[in-house]
């Protein structure tokens, strides 16, 4: 199982949002680079990064920060946030990003998702962010009328290499992940699925680790690390167990 420590970047700082609310954020002292270094030193080499500035603006605001992390630390990164064109995907692929996460742009225009998957083979991850059962877009500020299941059935053959399922209502809350709905997505998905949102403890990680036979590839862990609820060394041991 892969464990993805999370780094959300806003105004060049690490932050965590509560349920995706930009007005309810916790700002941490560590720079994104220093936080990534801490993860690498603990032996965790897969990072989940979200450019929150990009999610709001549609621009690659923190491209240089992400490039610096990749070049200096040589770790695997999946990146999301405001990626709405082929050129922006290429910019990330060119600096060595492992997976580019498409969310809002892919949901609003499935043909864009298809084109991206065809152009960048094995480089595209599909982000399904859900609020109260419906897909959310535009930095989680808009909720659609479409379920994640219905959308995934529509695009399942397009060629993305990973699905990231986030329950927004649990994101940043440390109330435990929505395993039931993630498993429903995993049953449908043609590719492995990542659990995201609500992880609170090592016990949550252990439960997810037992689901690898159900098309669950890994888990994203954010606030529980920053708040000290999960020890990085213990996390690494569990990843290798």
- Number of other CB atoms surrounding residue 53 within 10 Å: 19
Which among 200, 197, 203 is positioned nearest to 227, based on CA atoms? Answer: 200
Longest dimension (CA), the chain: 43
Residue 88 has pLDDT above 70, yes or no: yes
pLDDT mean over 152-156: 97
Model pLDDT, residue 175: 76
pLDDT mean over 1-27: 80
The predicted-structure confidence for 171-218, as pLDDT tens digits, reads as follows 766 778 999 999 999 999 999 999 998 899 999 999 999 988 899 999
Which among 127, 204, 138 is positioned nearest to 167, based on CA atoms? Answer: 127
Model pLDDT, residue 24: 62
Residues with a catalytic annotation lie at: 8, 129
Model pLDDT, residue 132: 86
Residues 87, 33: Cα–Cα separation, whole Å: 25
Model pLDDT, residue 56: 83
Model pLDDT, residue 48: 97
CATH class of this structure's domain 2-240:
alpha beta
Model pLDDT, residue 137: 85
CB 107 within 8 A of CB 136: no
The predicted-structure confidence for 164-173, as pLDDT tens digits, reads as follows 999 888 876 6
Confidence of residue 83 (pLDDT cuts 50, 70, 90): very high
Map out the domains of the chain as residue ranges: 2-240
- Number of other CB atoms surrounding residue 76 within 10 Å: 14
pLDDT exceeding 70 applies to what percent of the chain?
Answer: 94
């Amino acid at each position: 199982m892969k464990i993805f420590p999370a780094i959300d970047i806003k105004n060049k700082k690490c932050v965590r949002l509560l349920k995706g609310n930009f007005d309810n954020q916790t700002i941490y002292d560590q720079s994104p680079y220093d936080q990534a270094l801490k993860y690498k030193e603990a032996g965790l080499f897969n990072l989940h990064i979200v450019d929150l500035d990009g999610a709001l603006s549609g621009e690659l605001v923190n491209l240089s920060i992400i490039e610096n992390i990749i070049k200096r630390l040589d770790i695997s990164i999946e990146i999301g946030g405001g990626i709405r064109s082929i050129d922006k995907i290429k910019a990330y692929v060119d600096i060595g990003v492992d997976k580019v996460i498409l969310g809002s742009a892919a949901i609003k225009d499935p043909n864009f998702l298809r084109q991206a998957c065809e152009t960048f083979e094995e480089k595209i991850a599909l982000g399904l962010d859900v609020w109260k059962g419906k897909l959310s877009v535009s930095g989680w500020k808009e909720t659609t009328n479409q379920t994640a299941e219905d959308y995934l059935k529509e695009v399942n053959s397009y060629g993305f290499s990973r699905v990231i399922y986030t329950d927004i209502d649990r994101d940043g809350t440390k109330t435990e992940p929505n395993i039931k709905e993630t498993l429903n997505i995993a049953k449908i998905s043609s590719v492995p699925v990542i659990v995201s949102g609500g992880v609170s403890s090592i016990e949550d990680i252990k439960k997810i680790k037992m689901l690898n036979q159900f098309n669950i590839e890994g888990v994203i862990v954010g606030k529980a690390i920053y708040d000290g609820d999960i020890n990085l060394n213990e996390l690494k041991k569990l990843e290798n167990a």
